[in-house]
Structure 1
Amino acid sequence: MDTTGPRMPFAPTALSVRELLASYVAVLDELTRRGVIRTRNSPLGDLAETLAERAYGGTLAPNSQKSYDVLTMDNRRIQVKARLVDRLDKRTQNFSAFRSWDFDSAVFLLFDTNTYDLIWARELECDEVQTIGRRVEHTNSSAILIRNVAAAGKDVTVLFSLVFGAIDEPAEQP
């Protein structure tokens, strides 16, 4: 009897980050089909934060940091929000809620749920985020609709696409 655990049918170290993400999507599809999971969000947040860190420079905030995810070299505090969407799904969708406003800018990244391809990236100042937010009393938060972000702020899709395209390269050290 084999007690060493499951064996990998392939060598993940030989795959690019994009190939690993595509494999991850296939695994999620099968786990959903089997009724094991209901959501597809992880590792999206960590990926988005890594892209923001590389795009803007600086360092990732500690995991317990409440208001921002990246501290840039010029001390800007960047909150990062990411969402997977199916391009054919026309339902209203939100980014994760805001419960704190102690950041300078927020970066919103929208990814295709089937491929992890970046659809768009937008950067908004804190006051812009507050303006487009909808207060949700029972969660003490502000909900941010994808469609409201898409029409606001600064388009940084090209920057994030370039960074994502180079995701397999080692991160530059300051």
Structure 2
Amino acid sequence: MPQLKNLTEKELMKLNSDIMDELKAREIIRTRNNPIADYCEWYVAKKLGWKLQNSSNSGFDAIDSENRRVQIKCRTLIKGKGTRQLGVIRKLDQDTFDYLIALLFDENTEVVKGYKISKELIKKYSTFSKHQNGHILYVKGNLLNDEKLEDITELLK
């Protein structure tokens, strides 16, 4: 592995491109967007033995072992800090998924926490953003204290 600090910006960008190509070839990521979302979906599906859906699928990312549709979201925390806002949850009032898995990684992509969140809890603790045309959910505060929230961290480590 080359010393990253010795590479030019162009060389770093080329290395990033090569890494993205390899991750896509290994079917770990499905797009060339920020890879953490694709990695998270792949990781959860692989860890739990679920069927990952096509990246163009609208509303859910995987099918669980009971044939339920699962949306998967993640966030990376740096030294335990940072926003705990998940990606926008679209069409919450439509029947596009059955529940959501939220995964928090540390800066080394190690699992910090994992949660199974019902649509009931999402509706209770999220807020609708007209600007983003979807619901915004933070993995913190009252949500974390709700007895209906399922902590699945150990299943994902």
Q: TM-score, normalised by structure 1?
A: 0.63
Out of 118, 121, 128, the position equivalent to 2:111 is 118
Deviations 1:19-47 (A, max 9, x none): xxxxxxx78xx97xx9xxxxxx9321122
Match of 1:53 in 2: 45
Which amino acid in structure 2 is aligned with residue 160 of structure 1?
L
Residue ranges of structure 2 left out of the alignment (5+ in a row): 13-32
Out of 93, 99, 119, the position equivalent to 1:105 is 99
- Report if aligned partners of 2:75, 2:84 keep a CA contact under 8 Å in 1: no
- Take 2:80 and 2:37, find their aligned partners in 1: how far apart are those partners? 22
CA drift of 1:92 comes to 4.6
Judged with a 3 Å threshold, the aligned counterparts in structure 2 of structure 1 residues 142 and 86 are, in CA distance, closer, same or farther, namely same
Structure 1 runs of 4+ off > 4 angstroms? none
Query: 3-state SS of the aligned residue for 1:95?
Result: coil
Judged with a 3 Å threshold, the aligned counterparts in structure 2 of structure 1 residues 56 and 88 are, in CA distance, closer, same or farther, namely closer
- Take 2:43 and 2:144, find their aligned partners in 1: how far apart are those partners? 19
Q: TM-score, normalised by structure 2?
A: 0.69
Which amino acid in structure 2 is aligned with residue 43 of structure 1?
P
Match of 1:133 in 2: 126
Across the two proteins, how many residue pairs are aligned to each other? 127
Deviations 1:113-145 (A, max 9, x none): 2x1111100001112112111111122111111
- Take 2:151 and 2:127, find their aligned partners in 1: how far apart are those partners? 22
**Bigger radius of gyration, 1 or 2?**
1
Query: 3-state SS of the aligned residue for 2:44?
Result: helix
Out of 14, 29, 42, the position equivalent to 2:34 is 42
Which amino acid in structure 2 is aligned with residue 111 of structure 1?
F
Out of 69, 83, 102, the position equivalent to 2:75 is 83
Residue ranges of structure 1 left out of the alignment (5+ in a row): 1-7, 11-25, 35-40, 162-174
> Looking at both structures, which has the greater relative contact order when contacts are Cα pairs under 8 Å and sequence separation is at least 6?
1
Where do 1:63-74 residues align within 5 Å? 63-74=55-66
CA drift of 1:88 comes to 5.1
CA drift of 1:56 comes to 3.2
Deviations 1:28-83 (A, max 9, x none): xx97xx9xxxxxx9321122112221233231111111111001232110100011
- Report if aligned partners of 1:122, 1:150 keep a CA contact under 8 Å in 2: no
